[in-house]
Amino acid sequence: MFYSKEEFKENFSMRLEQQEQPVTLQTAYSILAGMVREFVKRDWNETNHFYQNEQRKQLYYFSIEFLIGRMLGQNLMNLTIYELVNEGLGELGYDLAELEEQEPEPGLGNGGLGRLAACFMDSLASLQMPGHGCGIRYRGGLFSQVLKDGFQTEHPTDWINDSAGWDIRREDLATYIPFFGEVQPEHGQRFKASLTNAEWVKAVPYDMPIVGAYGKTVNTLRLWQAELPEQHLLPKADVETYKQHVVAISDRLYPDDSTEEGKILRLKQQYFLCSASLQTILKNRDFPVSALPKHVAIQINDTHPALAIPELMRLLLDGEGLSWEEAWGITTHTISYTNHTILEEAMEKWDSSMLEQLLPRIYMIIQEIDRRFKEKCHQENLDSEAKKKLSIIEDGIVKMATLAVVGSYKVNGVAKLHTEILKMREMKELNEHFPHKFHNKTNGITHRRWLMKANPELSSLITSVIGNEWTKDPVKLHQLNEFVQDPVFLGDFKSVKQQKKNQLTEYLEKNQTIKIDPESIFDMHIKRFHGYKRQLMNIFHIQMLYNRIKEDSAYRPYPRTFFFGGKAAKSYRFAKQVIKLINTVAEKINNDPVASKHLHIVFVEDYNVSRAEKMFPAADISEQISTASKEASGTGNMKFMMNGAITLGTFDGANIEIVEQIGDDNAFIFGVTAQQVMQFEEEKTYHAREIIEKDREIGQLISELLSGKLSKGLENIDFIRSQIIDENDPYFVLKDLQHYARTHNRVLAVYEDTLAWQEMSAVNIAQSGIFSSDRTIQQYSDEVWDLEKIYSR
């Protein structure tokens, strides 16, 4: 332990001296991380003892992804020793920022849903609430992205092997998970059964400390690793193959599910996570099982952990010997569910036959849940469409979202619009059947990582004018409203923004050898690649600007740098072609002597949490241009806002609530509304072809695209072509394109009025506090989980 800079330096130097090998930055990092781990240990133990002794209700957040990002800097900050360590290291000739860069990036997630889980962990601990994460300790997280000739290539990452070592193996809590086997009903014994001839997998937890702000509360992120079980649980023959199957379970996040084998593996991962977590919760309790809902809340992060419902039933029926009614009562008062998408392709559905084979007892329980549910709600007067919607199993398919709704006590969407769409359209029948189950919890982001840690310069500026209470209660950022017209404050804000733009420029020059003009407008579109997120519309617009520059020698707009960052799922061909298209257009424009003075495109390779932390603070414009109704919430929009970037977006997801906070004048909104999109979809009255024929500029763009002119080196743009032409532009790219272009013009006009622009930025920051995940977590706690803070400590 160290309480002063001198103590820290002494301790650190001593460890350095003990090294036998020459000290590299990597070793210096490991030493520091080791010291922080020790620092945290006492509070972690105390927190756990407190929870046990006081019998506090515990929340477990089940998630297949935890996109936590690097932990060193965040932990130092939350422990309030960042400055102490920074100075101490400096005096010893080390640069803390440089050591932070040594930490391997834990890519245990893909996008919004995984990053949300990580923000929630931080807020729970910081609000001193008993809430823990349960996930999988993937050896390799999401692939790293390398661009080759403008194409995305995917490379496996190996997080564990070069792990930072924050987590601790808990052999004492290992448990065993059964797959396959045969169900033996215990006749006359209610719904009880047992499983014989199962294949067993050992689940070993690794616990990672989640340090709340100001230390003290240290919660746990428990990540499960799959291992070969002990000898007596092994099959007699072919142990080698068995081992491969076992190890694969915690090998990769989202294994390719285009094959039958890949699908089985995903299902195994899901059950593995649910069963291991639930078994441990039940085993280590010191209250009667009937009191479970009083002591435990389980939140399932989308449907990936929905098997928690039948698994809890199994443990209660077969393990505890409860009746169906008792078990169902407990389950449906313990589990709640968050939906993160209405995209059809992301709605999980499993073949009954696959589930039945892999998890026979679980399938049997799902069948019974379905049977009882249908018995209740399939009344005579229900039409066949409604009956379908009110079925968990239908035509040999198990619909996980329906299972999740039926088995939870609360169901939420992640922004107001999204929740309304769930209630009124996607899950209308379920909402009518369970009128009090559905509610909204608009997402949030932790301001500790996304403002205080990522942008210490802006944080200090804010504190210098309104004091530091906002760090504990971010809604207090609204005190900045008094300064949004103060030229001194706005001037200081401008310098901070410039500083962050310079830092990003230097970083990218060093890491990607890209030259950027830090005085240009930084316009950023950073998120996963997907049709509905419309990176295609962005690049179409840039190509249109290029055409205008070529055709009109008087058209010379203010210099802009367009940043793209994000990965496309490995098998998502359309999205991968969009990446290639962006890079092809980039090459042309960036090398054009005239156009490159006005337009510059930067594709930031391998976009991840650490890069994101460098990008959000440097942005002027936040591109949030999803097809209205498709983006459930978005959280990047909030990170930009908190750092003073201005939203250029559609009325979708949480953009709507952002505008509610700041007013129409402080964002640039365009495009068709969710209502209109849904109407077009229902009535089939949108015809992309008409736009191509009538709009000269768009016509030219599409003919350039089709002729291959835009796509040098990309002979194959068939996916883009077929989406726009054959599939009639399902994401309304052409429909919104001109409105988007006009809105960009408005942006430029305002940007050139520096003070007006700074004022808009300042209003955005001042009104962003409500989008802290502290607010979100407080609402979940008040309305769903009923947690108590540890005030007494």
Helix (H) or strand (E) holding 154: strand 151-155
- 533 is a catalytic site residue: yes
Nearer to ligand 7GP, 331 or 635 (CB): 635
Q: Is 63 a residue that touches ligand 7GP (CB under 6 A)? A: no
Q: How far does Cα 732 stand from its chain's mean position?
A: 25
Per CB under 6 A, the list member of 229, 653, 671, 769 interacting with ligand 7GP is: 653
Distance between CA atoms of 370 and 313, rounded to whole angstroms? 13
* Residues contacting residue 187 through CB under 8 Å, at least 6 positions apart: none
Dist. CA 724–CA 732, nearest whole Å = 9
Residue 270 binds to ligand 7GP (criterion: CB under 6 A): no
∠ CA 458-464-469, rounded to 5°: 90
Minimum CB–partner distance for residue 627 and ligand 7GP (Å)? 12
* 5, 137, 252, 340: residue in contact with ligand 7GP (rule CB under 6 A): 340
Considering only 104-112, 161-169, 289-297, 474-482, which stretch makes contact with ligand 7GP by CB under 6 A? 104-112
d(CA 579, CA 586): 10
Residue 443 lies near ligand 7GP (rule: CB under 6 A):
yes
Contact 303, 348 (CB under 8 A): yes
Which residue's CB is nearer to ligand 7GP, number 94 or number 254?
Answer: 254
Stretch that binds ligand 7GP, among 75-83, 110-118, 578-586, 753-761 (CB under 6 A): 110-118
Taking the complex as a whole, how short is the minimal distance between the CB of residue 303 and ligand 7GP, in angstroms? 7
Whether 334 is a known active-site residue: answer no
Q: Minimum CB separation from ligand 7GP for residue 290, in Å?
A: 33
346 binds ligand 7GP (CB under 6 A): yes
β-strands 151-155, 335-338 pairing: unpaired
Residue nearest to ligand 7GP (CB): 112
Q: Which residues lie below 8 Å from residue 302, measured CB to CB, with a gap of 6+?
A: 63, 64, 113, 338, 339, 340, 341
By beta-carbon proximity to ligand 7GP, the closer residue of 508 and 658 is 658
Distance CA 552, CA 547 (A): 8
Answer yes or no whether residue 631 interacts with ligand 7GP by CB under 6 A: yes
**Nearest residue (CB) to ligand 7GP, 361 versus 576:** 576
Tell me how far CA of residue 117 lies from CA of 74, 109, 452, 777, in angstroms.
Answer: 16, 9, 19, 11
HEC profile for 516-534? CCCCCEEEEEECCCCHHHC
Residue of 471, 561, 635, 647 marked catalytic? 635
- Compute the least distance from the CB of residue 442 to ligand 7GP, in Å: 10
436 CB-contact burial (10 Å; exposed 0-12 / middle 13-18 / buried 19+): exposed
Other C-beta atoms closer than 10 Å to the C-beta of 231 total: 7
* Tokens of residue 401, six digits: 């979202």
Kindly state the smallest distance separating residue 576's Cβ from ligand 7GP, in Å.
18
> Is 232 an annotated catalytic residue?
no
Residue number, 128 or 538, with CB nearest to ligand 7GP:
538
Concerning whether 639 is annotated as a catalytic residue, the answer is: yes
Which sign, positive or negative, has the C-alpha torsion 590, 591, 594, 595?
negative
* Separation of alpha carbons 721 and 416, rounded Å: 34
Residue from 70, 528, 541, 600 carrying the catalytic annotation? 528
Does position 107 interact with ligand 7GP (CB under 6 A)? The reply is no
- Comparison of 105 and 631: residue with beta carbon closer to ligand 7GP: 631
Q: Could you say which of 112, 141, 310, 474 contacts ligand 7GP (CB under 6 A)? A: 112
Catalytic pick among 5, 192, 501, 533: 533
Work out how close the CB of 341 gets to ligand 7GP at its nearest, in angstroms, rounded to a whole number. 4
634 makes contact with ligand 7GP (CB under 6 A): yes
In angstroms, the CA 251 to CA 249 distance is: 6
3-class state of residue 313 by DSSP: helix
Is residue 533 part of the contact set for ligand 7GP (CB under 6 A)? no
**120 vs 373, beta carbon nearer ligand 7GP:** 120
Nearest distance, CB of residue 22 and ligand 7GP, angstroms = 43
Among 217, 334, 336, 341, binds ligand 7GP (CB under 6 A): 341
> Of 497 and 611, which CB lies nearer to ligand 7GP in the complex structure?
611
**Six-digit token pair at 746?**
């408005």
> What is the C-alpha separation between 346 and 653, in angstroms, rounded?
17
CB of 415 to ligand 7GP, least distance (A): 7
Stretch that binds ligand 7GP, among 18-26, 108-116, 118-126, 702-710 (CB under 6 A): 108-116
DSSP 324-374: HHHHHHHHTTTEEEE-----GGGS-EEEHHHHHHH-HHHHHHHHHHHHHHH
Q: How far is the CB of 300 from ligand 7GP (least distance, A)?
A: 11
Strand order in the sheet with 621-624: 599-604, 560-565, 521-526, 621-624, 646-649, 668-669
Between 73 and 653, whose beta carbon lies closer to ligand 7GP?
Answer: 653
Shortest Å distance, C-beta 25 to ligand 7GP = 33
Q: Which of 303, 327, 325, 331 is nearest to 398 (CA)?
A: 303
Instruction: Figure out which of the listed residues 122, 207, 302, 620 binds ligand 7GP, where binding follows CB under 6 A.
Output: 302
C-alpha to C-alpha distance for 693 and 671, rounded to whole angstroms: 20
Of 105-113, 192-200, 282-290, 454-462: span binding ligand 7GP (CB under 6 A): 105-113
Residue pair 607/565 in contact (Cβ under 8 Å)? The answer is yes
Instruction: Please tell me whether residue 632 binds ligand 7GP under the rule CB under 6 A.
Output: yes
- Residue 633 or 781: the one with the smaller Cβ distance to ligand 7GP is 633
Q: Give residue 705's Cα distance to chain centre.
A: 33
User: Which C-beta is closer to ligand 7GP: that of 309 or that of 790?
Assistant: 309
Contact window for ligand 7GP (CB under 6 A) among 11-19, 74-82, 107-115, 783-791: 107-115
Instruction: Specify the residue, 345 or 375, whose C-beta has the smaller distance to ligand 7GP.
Output: 345
Indicate which single residue of 40, 72, 81, 116 sits in contact with ligand 7GP (rule: CB under 6 A).
116
Tell me if residue 528 is catalytic: yes
**How many CB atoms are closer than 10 A to CB 34?**
13
Contact stretch for ligand 7GP (CB under 6 A) within 37-45, 490-498, 628-636, 727-735: 628-636
Q: Which helix (H) or strand (E) holds 147?
A: strand 144-148
Closest separation in Å from C-beta 160 to ligand 7GP: 23
Per CB under 6 A, 566 contacts ligand 7GP: no
User: Would you call 349 a catalytic residue per the annotation?
Assistant: no
340 vs 735 by CB, closer to ligand 7GP: 340
In the block, tokens 């460098």 appear at: 614
Handedness of CA 403, 654, 502, 516 (dihedral sign): positive
Residue 557 has what DSSP assignment? P
37, 314, 340, 447: the catalytic one is 340
**348 vs 367: CA distance, rounded Å:** 17
Tokens of 10: 């002494």
Chosen residue from 69, 104, 111, 141 binding ligand 7GP by CB under 6 A? 111
Contacting residue, 121, 315, 401, 414, with ligand 7GP by CB under 6 A? 414
Task: Write out the DSSP string of 652-675.
Answer: -TTHHHHHHHH-GGGSEE-S--HH
CB of 528 to ligand 7GP, least distance (A): 7
Residue with tokens 């443990």: 315
Lookup result for tokens 């006590």: 409
Out of 268, 639, 735, 775, the active site residue is 639
Residues touching ligand 7GP: how many (CB under 6 A)? Answer: 17
Least distance (Å) between residue 445 CB and ligand 7GP:
10
* Residues designated as active site: 340, 527-528, 533, 635, 639
The residues binding ligand 7GP (CB under 6 A) are 110-113, 116, 302, 340-341, 346, 414, 443, 631-635, 653
